[in-house]
């Protein structure tokens, strides 16, 4: 009996911030490397934030040997900048909704919010799940 692999989506925005080579970014990269060795059991998907185009391209390069290109996705947020500088603006709220919609459309078995604390100083909008989410959500921190 052949079983379907677990479809695991991971919020890759931590690979687009200053955390990418230390802290949570390094941890998530190591986690992805480890999970990728189970390709028959786990189908990895990662999404990056198009609002940070240069860092999205750099993150895509970091992921090149870990996640197949067709499973690296980009979503379009509109947060003006960091929440510490701009506050919880209507555009940040809309970006949160857009990210939830993006993940719902990918329809993974589990959505992993790698770092729900990102976005204080940059336009990252962490995945928080919530009432609009149609997939199970887990968080590392």
Per-residue pLDDT, 140: 86
Q: Buried (b) or exposed (e) across 15-49, using 16+ Cβ within 10 A?
A: bbbebbeeebbebbbebbeebeeeeeebbbbbbbb
Question: Which of 93, 83, 90 is CA-nearest to residue 117?
Answer: 83
Q: How far apart are CA 2 and CA 62, in angstroms?
A: 32
CA distances from 13 to 41, 44, 90, 127 (A): 24, 15, 20, 9
Per-residue pLDDT, 1: 52
Per-residue pLDDT, 2: 64
Per-residue pLDDT of the chain (141 residues; tens, 9 = 90+): 568 999 999 999 999 988 877 788 999 999 999 999 987 899 999 999 999 999 999 999 999 999 999 999 999 988 888 888 888 889 999 999 999 999 999 999 999 998 887 878 888 898 999 999 999 999 987
Query: At the topology level of CATH, where does 6-139 sit?
Result: Rossmann fold (3.40.50)
Q: How far apart are CA 34 and CA 57, in angstroms?
A: 22
Per-residue pLDDT, 119: 77
8 A C-beta contact, residue 97 and residue 55: no
């Amino acid at each position: 009996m052949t079983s379907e692999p677990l479809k695991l989506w991971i919020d890759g925005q931590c690979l687009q911030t200053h955390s990418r080579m230390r802290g949570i970014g390094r941890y998530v990269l190591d986690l992805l490397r480890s999970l990728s060795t189970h390709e028959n059991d786990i189908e990895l998907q990662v999404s990056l934030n198009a609002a940070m185009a240069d860092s999205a391209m750099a993150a895509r390069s970091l992921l090149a040997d870990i996640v197949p290109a067709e499973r690296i996705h980009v979503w379009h947020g509109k947060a003006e900048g960091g929440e510490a500088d701009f506050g919880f603006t209507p555009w940040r709220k809309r970006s949160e909704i857009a990210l939830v919609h993006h993940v719902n459309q990918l329809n993974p078995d589990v959505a992993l919010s790698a770092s729900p604390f990102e976005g204080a100083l940059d336009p990252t909008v962490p995945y928080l799940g919530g009432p609009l989410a149609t997939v199970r959500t887990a968080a590392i921190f």
